[in-house]
Amino acid sequence: MALFDVIILGGGPAGYVCAIRCAQLGMQVAVIEREALGGTCVLWGCIPAKALLESAGLAVKLGKAAEHGITIDGITLDFGPAMKRSRSISAQNSKGVEFLFKKYKVQWLRGEGVLEKGKKVTVTLADGKKETHEAKKAVVVATGSRVKGLPQAGLELDKNIVLSSDDVLVAEKAPASMVVVGAGAVGVEFADVFAAFGTKVTMVEVAPTILPIEDADCSAELAKAFKKRKIDVLTGAKITSTKVTKTGATLVVEAGGTTHTLEVDKVLVAAGRAPNVERIGLEAVGIAKSERGFVKITEKFETNIPGYYAIGDVAGNQMLAHKGSREGHVLADLLGGEHPHLVNYNNIPSCTYCHPEVASIGLTEQACKDQKLEYTVGKFPFSANGRARTSGETDGFVKIIRDAKHGEILGAHIVGAHATEIIHELVVARENEFTVEEIDLAIHAHPTLSEAIAEAVLDSMGKMLHA
């Protein structure tokens, strides 16, 4: 038995960041992870998916090359090399985490861990051997989440016809046709990728809009952009029957008062994730879970059992890599005797990397109405932005919702090229309680996409200049 200061179960964004920061603060740390380091984000989510989206974006841009006086003959689209590139980038990132573990002397125990009482964890190593280790300060549960099928709709994941977002990241070619079930961030991103590589894509979403957690204006703008790209979108939809064979699937879907029969080669289920709470010893230790199955925690990530903590997807709130990383960093500081700011779950940016991108912070306009807040809206289209015109990426807008009395930024929403990058000006502003008037004091360089933020701010004050 080895004695560590901190033992972390899971090597994803929450777990590995927590481990590195704990080590920086002088603690001896072990991380138990059966796969490569980096978790879903690095191996099966954020990184490989965004690599594919970069390839998809390039494919779309090449189709417009003639506008720039560039003639390209004989373009062929092949999903296989793009997928292999994405896997290579994923492996690079995972190796980067391994390097950091060696740099900070974090011990990686490659295997499966089960929690025991007394701040102990039993690890079954890759060779089948078992060993038990103890933590002086803390055992941290950071086991993440996993994709799930829709058995209630007859869509059990099978790695052949009915696929998860993990499965499509090792596909060798783009199918001729595909139904994407679920139009949240994962669904719209993969719809974007496969449509760019020639797949006939139909999206099916039970909610009345795609990207249902985003502002309604953003959802409508993305739906319009997808329509231009001939991606079919069925919202307010219900799957009434499903037939899956060895060569394809037939789905009968009711939407908008019409019955649609969809015969496709593949079905991608992108409708949610489940926390990894099974077979890790939670019940044996007595750690409580919520009704939805997440580990219950306090604002300092404590479970109901002293010495046991939980962070990342398994602990609920937003299931986002950057949220988990911040939780890992803050928890490490707490364990190290620091006095960090606790995580502000009301100011975590939401980013979707389709084309055009969608990014947001804070409240939607509907949420402001539901809360009966007094607000004004400022909005500026990228079609009136000089930098967007030069790049030919004029879809979308910046929308800022401000408190009518004090100028506080209640919410901000961006649809457009590089939205996931330029949202951070508003994240910083909102975290530091800047008003729209204070954003207006900052001179924005011309020509830049960020000028659209400055113009939306002006519009929220009733004095927009360029539209």
pLDDT tens digits for range 327-351 = 999 999 999 999 999 999 999 999 9
Stretch 226-231: mean pLDDT = 96
The number of angstroms, rounded, from the C-alpha of 95 to the middle of its chain's C-alpha atoms is: 21
CB-based contacts of 183: which residues, under 8 Å, 6+ apart?
191, 203, 204, 205, 207, 210, 211, 212, 233, 235, 270
* DSSP track, 184-244: SHHHHHHHHHHHHTT-EEEEE-SSSSSSTTS-HHHHHHHHHHHHHTT-EEE-S-EEEEEEE
Confidence grade of residue 75 (pLDDT, cut at 50, 70, 90): confident
Residue 8: pLDDT above 80?
A: yes
Structure tokens at 362: 């804070």
Q: Do 414 and 422 form a contact (C-beta atoms < 8 A)?
A: yes
* pLDDT the model gives residue 72: 87
In this predicted structure, the answer to whether residue 68 has a pLDDT above a threshold of 80 is: yes
Q: Which residue has the tokens 């004095």?
A: 463
**Position 307, amino acid:** G
426 vs 411: CA distance, rounded Å: 9
Nearest Cα to Cα of residue 188 among 80, 268, 116, 251: 268
Residue 247: Cβ-neighbour burial (10 angstroms; 0-12, 13-18, 19+): exposed
Counting DSSP H helices and E strands in the chain, the numbers are 14, 22
pLDDT for the residue numbered 151: 82
Instruction: Please indicate, yes or no, if residue 116 is contained in any of the structural domains.
Output: yes
E strand or H helix at 92: helix 79-103
CA distances from 374 to 296, 362, 365, 411, 437 (A): 34, 15, 11, 13, 17
Is residue 467 included in any domain, yes or no? no
Strands 350-352 and 177-181: unpaired
pLDDT of residue 63: 85
- 363: nearest Cα among 456, 426, 453: 426
Residue at a domain's end among 314, 345, 376: 345
Count the alpha carbons within 13 Å of 258 in the hemisphere toward its beta carbon.
6
Work out the average pLDDT over 371-393.
Answer: 97
Residue 310 confidence (pLDDT): 98
Does the pLDDT value for residue 370 go beyond 90? yes
For residue 465, tell me if it sits in a domain: no
- Does residue 131 sit in the same domain as residue 239? no
Name the more confident of 249 and 46.
249
Q: Say whether both 30 and 134 belong to one domain.
A: yes
b/e per residue, 219-236, with b = 16+ CB within 10 A? bebbbebbeeeebbbbbe
Three-class DSSP category at 378: strand
For residues 22 and 164, membership in a common domain is answered with: no
Please name the helix (run of DSSP H) or strand (run of DSSP E) that holds residue 46, with its range, or none. helix 46-62
Q: Is the CB of residue 125 less than 8 Å from the CB of residue 42?
A: no
What is the band of 459 on the pLDDT scale with cuts at 50, 70, 90?
very high
Cβ proximity of 14 and 328 under 8 Å = yes
Asked whether residue 430 is domain-assigned, the answer is yes
Domain shared by 156 and 229, yes or no: yes
Helix (H) or strand (E) run with residue 402 in it: strand 397-403
- Average pLDDT of the chain? 95
Task: Let me know whether 96 and 117 are in one domain.
Answer: yes
Q: Which residues are catalytic?
A: 446
Q: What is the pLDDT of residues 37-60, one digit of tens each?
A: 998 888 888 899 999 999 999 998
From 345, 377, 402, give the residue that closes a domain: 345
On the question of pLDDT at 181 being above 90, the answer is yes
Q: Residue 230: is its pLDDT beyond 90?
A: yes
Q: How many residues does the chain have?
A: 467
217 and 327 in a single domain? The answer is: no
Three-state secondary structure string covering 120-179: EEEEEECCCCEEEEEEEEEEEECCCEEECCEHHHCECCCCCCEECCCHHHHCCCCCCEEE
Percentage of residues of the chain with pLDDT beyond 90: 89
CB-CB contact of 299 with 117 (8 Å): no
CB 157 within 8 A of CB 163: yes
What is the mean pLDDT of the segment spanning 362-382?
Answer: 97
Query: What per-residue confidence (pLDDT) applies to 290?
Result: 96
The whole-angstrom separation of Cα 76 and Cα 82 is 12
Boundary of a domain, candidates 345, 372, 396 = 345
| Residue 311 and residue 265 in one domain | no
Beta bridge pairs of residue 180: 203, 268
Q: Domain containing 61: what range?
A: 3-147+274-345
Report yes or no: 399 and 407 within 8 Å, Cβ to Cβ: no
Q: For position 377, which CATH number holds?
A: 3.30.390.30
pLDDT at 136: 97
**What domain count does the chain have?**
3
Identify whether 466 is part of a domain.
no
Q: What is the mean pLDDT of residues 16-20?
A: 98
Comparison of pLDDT for 398 and 153, the residue scoring more: 398
Domain-embedded: residue 202: yes
For residue 294, the domain's CATH number is 3.50.50.60
Could you tell me if 166 and 208 lie in one domain? yes
Using one digit for the tens of pLDDT, what is the confidence trace for 306-316?
Answer: 999 999 999 99
| Token duo for residue 76 | 């062929």
Nearest Cα to Cα of residue 388 among 423, 428, 351, 419: 419
- Assess whether pLDDT exceeds 90 at residue 117: yes
**Are both 158 and 125 inside the same structural domain?**
no
Lookup: tokens for 191: 């719809």
**Residues 9, 133: one domain?**
yes
Whether 115 maps to a domain, the answer reads yes
Residue 152 is predicted with a pLDDT of: 82
Q: What is the pLDDT of residues 252-311, one digit of tens each?
A: 999 999 999 999 999 999 987 899 999 999 999 999 999 999 999 999 999 999 999 999
Q: Which pLDDT value is given to residue 464?
A: 83
b/e per residue 354-364 (b: at least 16 CB within 10 A): bbbbbbbbbbb
Q: Looking at residue 154, what is its pLDDT?
A: 83
The reported pLDDT for the residue numbered 272 is 79
Same domain, 253 and 283: no
Query: Does residue 467 have a pLDDT over 80?
Result: no
In a domain, 351, yes or no: no
Same domain, 61 and 138: yes
| Residue carrying structure tokens 């009395």 | 405
